[in-house]
Amino acid sequence: MVKLVNPQEVIVWDIIPFLRKELAISLIKKEMSQKNVAEILGITPAAVSQYLSSKRARSMSISKELSSEIDSSAEALKNKESSALEEIQRLISLDGVKELACNIHKKEYGADKDCDICFS
């Protein structure tokens, strides 16, 4: 039997690590060092290394639109126009991220297939 969890737990356990991973990858592609990426994201350089080697956080298929939003967030972080806290919160509020969380909630944590609480 699959343990039913709250949608917020999916955000904490699955979505935030995924977003950090994607932001780290995007920042590295913008020629930032792992040390600087770690400082920006408020994580350790070892965590950045694990994100880059796919040892931490799951991989997910995302839309081009969401990929573009993540890249925009990375650019804002690189240019010190925003903080990681603000950008991760902004990304979590996007429908594409809510859809990812909803799908994980249904497939892996026992939410009813007709559930739409994440969009309420």
Q: What is the pLDDT of residues 22-41, one digit of tens each?
A: 999 999 999 999 999 999 99
Please write the tens of the pLDDT for every residue from 54-111.
898 888 899 999 999 999 999 999 999 999 999 999 999 999 999 999 999 998 888 8
pLDDT at 58: 84
Tell how far CA 69 is from the center of its chain.
11
Asked whether the predicted pLDDT for residue 118 surpasses 90, the reply is no
**Local confidence band at 1 (pLDDT 50, 70, 90 cut-offs):** low
Q: Are 52 and 32 in contact (CB under 8 A)?
A: no
Whole-model pTM: value is: 0.92
pLDDT band at 113 (very low <50, low <70, confident <90, very high): confident
Contacts of 1 (CB under 8 A, 6+ apart): 110
CA 29 vs CA 22, 49, 61, 80, 112: distances in Å: 11, 14, 19, 17, 39
State residue 97's pLDDT score: 94
